[in-house]
Structure 1
Amino acid sequence: MAVETAEGYVKVIVFQLKDEEYAIEVDDVQSIEKMQAVTRIPGVEPYIIGVMNLRGVITPVMDLRKRFELESRPYDEATRILVLKRDNSDIGFIVDGANDVMDIAASNIEPTPEVVGGVAEEYLRGVIKLEERLFTLLHIDKILNKQDDKQRSGM
């Protein structure tokens, strides 16, 4: 499941998409950026909206709303790009907002239930319960895996 610290805690960044809260482990996130200019590129998956120049590094940008097949909305002042480092390259995830960094006890992370509204279950690593809040821990490798798309669409 998640990588635990020596104290049995997982440090996560909590962000919003639509009316839901999601979490990604801090170790996966290189930076959180304000929305900036993105250059569109032809012939890519519809959820890849283009590339941005982030401090001299050309970084592909994925709209997580589109990836999860949620309705789109205009970007605003709260919109953020979570820049992740995967396999020696960067990728940006556009989210509605990101403002919490939390230490979550591993005991608060439960397996994903069979029925989850909105986001396909294979993208989720678990559900985090914290007092009155409930949010899902995302499985980054599955979100980035194009092969899953082809299998789902029957190609």
Structure 2
Amino acid sequence: MSENAALTPFELLAHYERACIAHSIGATEQVATEGLWRGIGFRVGRRAFVSGIDEINELLAVPALTQVPGTQPWLMGVANVRGNLVPAIDLGRFLFDERTPASERTRLLLVRQHGGTVGLLVDEVFGQRTMDDDRRGEGEEENDPRLARFVTGNIRLGEQSFGLFSMSRLVRAPDFRQAAL
């Protein structure tokens, strides 16, 4: 007979909870390898970027949007994401004044900001990228003045160059926070 058979339903649930917590703690330790930085790669226009995995909460297919009158052209509208209104920003239009074309690869990156969450429309998401912490600090400077305040450096991963894009700098930028005309 199993040792769990003698337990009351409450004791059995408590046993399962302890087992789940022990499992999740072990899984976190295995994933968080010291000295490695993990990010999410994405494309805006012709530029590829990577942002820390801790800066991006979620990736979504672009939901239905409701336009908001009297706002900057880069504010596409608001989306209902699980009962929460999330402003959707066309990141290509904000950065380069070029509208992001809708395609099957277009995604909305959900990013936390003071007072809520904001969705950033990008052309494509490449998925997770991993690199050594030391290598991340060796990135070349950003030459494009439109990006210099958000991109902390440029690095090569394989055959592709990525700008290290700081979402926290973006959401704190005064012009980003001022969407009203």
Q: TM-score, normalised by structure 2?
A: 0.71
CA gap of 1:19–1:114, structure 2 versus 1, over 3 A, is closer
**In the alignment, which residue of structure 1 is the partner of 2:144?**
116
Q: Distance in 2 between matches of 1:61 and 1:21?
A: 20
CA gap of 1:146–1:107, structure 2 versus 1, over 3 A, is closer
1:90 aligns with 2:117: yes
1:141 aligns with 2:168: yes
1:102 to 122, 125, 129: 129
Q: Is 1:52–1:58's contact at 8 Å kept on the other side of the alignment?
A: yes
Q: Distance in 1 between matches of 2:142 and 2:103?
A: 34
Q: Distance in 2 between matches of 1:99 and 1:79?
A: 11
Q: Is 2:93–2:100's contact at 8 Å kept on the other side of the alignment?
A: no
Q: Is 1:124–1:137's contact at 8 Å kept on the other side of the alignment?
A: yes
Q: Where does structure 1 lack aligned partners over 5 or more consecutive residues?
A: 151-155
2:96 to 56, 69, 77: 69
**In the alignment, which residue of structure 2 is the partner of 1:128?**
155
Q: Distance in 2 between matches of 1:125 and 1:80?
A: 23
Q: Which has the higher helix share?
A: 2
Shift >3 Å, 4+ stretches: none
Q: Which amino acid aligns with 2:153?
A: G
- The number of residue pairs the alignment matches comes to 145
What CA deviation, in whole Å up to 9, does each residue of 1:34-92 have, x standing for no partner?
11211111222321111100011110111100111242242011100001122351110
Q: Structure 1 vs Structure 2: percent identity of aligned residues?
A: 25
**In the alignment, which residue of structure 2 is the partner of 1:45?**
72
1:56 to 76, 83, 86: 83
**In the alignment, which residue of structure 2 is the partner of 1:153?**
none
Q: TM-score, normalised by structure 1?
A: 0.82
Q: Where does structure 2 lack aligned partners over 5 or more consecutive residues?
A: 1-31
